[in-house]
Amino acid sequence: MPLEIGEKLASAGYAVFGMDYEGHGRSAGVRCYITKFDNVVNDCSTFYKSICELQEYKGKAKFLYGESMGGAVSLLLHKKDPLFWDGAVLVAPMCKISEKLKPHPVFVSILTGLEEIIPKWKIVPTKDVINSAFKDHTKRETIRNNKLIYQDKPRLKTALELLRTSLSVETSLHQVTLPFLVLHGEEDTVTDPEVSKALYDKASSVDKTLKLYPGMWHGLTSGEPDENIELVFADIISWLDKRATSKARIESFLPIPTYKRSNLLEFQEGRPRASL
């Protein structure tokens, strides 16, 4: 996730914390190698709860923010501790891998048989996700030039873990109970917009909002033309403001499960109201 996203939320008055998953960004580990998705969720849970325990953030509202794979992490963090978080913003969440990008079932069967033999091999046949996710050509090239972003084929174990996780999240949407805003581009071919609709329909949450953007792709906050990005952020901040101020007007706090495991990034401007 680009730093600009955290900066935009910070400029709106929110304290923002994030982490790179193990093997992602600046964190240590084999590049983009996930042996168990639960490890990612547990790392995030430990880190964000340690922030919440700091004296300056005790008593503040706590919101999760997740894009794509981070959306799945956010939902699993909520599932792990259903009453801890005060809400979530989910941008094109990975609740299901699009049929247009998912490997053929025959390949899935073959690769599953090889999973424990060659787990780190980059052999999973997938389309170019950057081309599929980022509509704006200039922003797409900026992403391509970012050396921290993994652009090779997915590793076998990682791809299968993502597939299993997306299927698991899809079957447990009814267990979602926290307030949430889910946003999705209607032309997204990376994560299926229909599953965001299913999340909205099946979630048990009383406070839930679905925003669909005609003509927009997967990268709602970083891959669209500037005017589209501003529209998306206006919707996000409006939703957060209403819920951050409704909680007895206390100051609040927001974590973003997509930055680093060991390198803390913090964006603060003025007095923090909430955390993503």
Is 262 a known active-site residue?
no
Alpha carbon 176 to its chain centroid, in Å, reads: 16
Which amino acid is it at 154? P
Buried b vs exposed e over 57-94: b needs ≥16 C-beta within 10 Å? beebbbbbbbbbbbbbbbbbbbbeeeeebbbbbbbbbb
Nearest to 212 by CA among 171, 228, 223: 228
**Catalytic, out of 98, 188, 192, 252:** 188
**Catalytic, out of 24, 78, 184, 218:** 218
Nearest to 199 by CA among 175, 218, 229: 175
Is 68 a known active-site residue?
yes
**Catalytic, out of 68, 132, 166, 275:** 68
Nearest to 71 by CA among 173, 152, 212: 173
Whether residue 188 contacts residue 92, with contact meaning beta carbons closer than 8 Å, is answered with: yes
Is 137 a known active-site residue?
no
Q: Give the residue numbers annotated as catalytic, written as ranges.
A: 68, 188, 218
